[in-house]
Structure 1
């Protein structure tokens, strides 16, 4: 497979920085067809009554404003691209955007007020963007992972016995440990042109966690 990668470091909370990243990408590849916005932070695990404004703003800046900035500038680029005729008789496309939400975008857990609010916002932003972008042949969807022990999550989970016990319970409700590759596969599926009528949806990838009303 002939694959070319262009690593670019960018701060998703800095609009100018992200604009620059888009420009560098287009300069190298000519266009942007698929994007996945997965920058995020977990936030404090504490009651809303104990959360500071600074803690609130830090989480919202990355999880919500970052997705807004990313989606905005990806749309601006995709909207001016020529549509691609990818299959005879099918609608031409300009691009696909997948935003990272969470199971917390459709439910809540005590002690996750900031994170839950930020992910509900991502799901809502995605729906609005999907309706605005469809006339250009652009799809915008969100993906809600369950409990995936990523390199970011692992030290947090293992450093706090209470969090570790809660995580084990959540994984039991999910059925098994989720793998990062499974989220990547779901992004690839949502991004594919074969999903051409799927727009404004929130694909939950959680092994059945959100439909499991038991604790196992």
Structure 2
């Protein structure tokens, strides 16, 4: 039996593509009311339509997570429908691989602004909402680059290390308030973002990325979505402050 999320109201940022899209589709298929939020509203609307056409329940919301005002508006709009049970902070960006001394400061700051500050804004809003409701779950999509070294993507890695720090610290702070907070940490997954990185590499570089784990392949968005769905369910009720690694054995 699959982990049930039936009737839970789940908000996911970056839900228009990649891991966010796969998670939204799976959660919708399992009975959740899914709020698909994305800075590309048309993509979010397309995902919501797919869920509704398949017999589920979903709606789309626009948001740039790096803008706290937009985050606040998103949460207000979602909460008007019904209390939010789960928030999945999935929106994120990366940068072109290059030595750290060549990374422009603006690129570093943008990664921090979206990946780390964006998660911070969404967590603050989610926590305020969940404290009022007396329960809730937050799932942050981090990365194996937040758990180990990640040469040539230093800015991205730094932002994801920060997400892990927020996850662990907040999990301990709010454990007694019936709010659970965990992270998922994928390695290279076959998403538009990763394909964008691969497109900038030569064949040798591509082979190194694809073969970076013992399984010698990219992960699938649906494989990460399965872990996200389990974390959304009550089957993970004694789990908080953890980083679930999906990396094909890379860190083993």
**Normalised-by-shorter TM-score class:** 0.7 to 0.9
Computing the radius of gyration from Cα coordinates, the structure with the larger value is 1
Indicate the RMSD between aligned Cα atoms, in angstroms: 1.5
Which deviations, in whole Å up to 9, do the C-alpha atoms of 1:140-166 show, x marking residues without a partner? 001101210102221331342154233
Unaligned 5+ runs, structure 1: 84-93, 212-216
Cα deviation, residue 182, structure 1: 0.8
Cα deviation, residue 173, structure 1: 3.1
Query: Match of 1:140?
Result: 181
Cα deviation, residue 23, structure 1: 0.4
Match of 2:116 among 59, 64, 70: 64
Q: TM-score, normalised to structure 2's length?
A: 0.74
Cα deviation, residue 174, structure 1: 4.0
Q: TM-score, normalised to structure 1's length?
A: 0.86
Cα deviation, residue 68, structure 1: 0.6
Q: Residue 50 and residue 177 in structure 1: after superposition, are their counterparts in 2 closer, same or farther (change >3 A)? A: closer
Structure 1 stretches of at least 4 aligned residues deviating more than 4 Å after TM superposition: none
Query: Match of 1:40?
Result: 92
Matched residues, number: 198
- The residue correspondences of 1:11-90 to structure 2 (distance < 5 A) are 11-28=64-81, 30-81=82-133, 83=134
Q: Residue 53 and residue 176 in structure 1: after superposition, are their counterparts in 2 closer, same or farther (change >3 A)? A: closer
Return the alpha-carbon distance in structure 2 between the equivalents of residues 22 and 163 of structure 1: 41
Query: Match of 1:88?
Result: none
Return the alpha-carbon distance in structure 2 between the equivalents of residues 3 and 168 of structure 1: 34
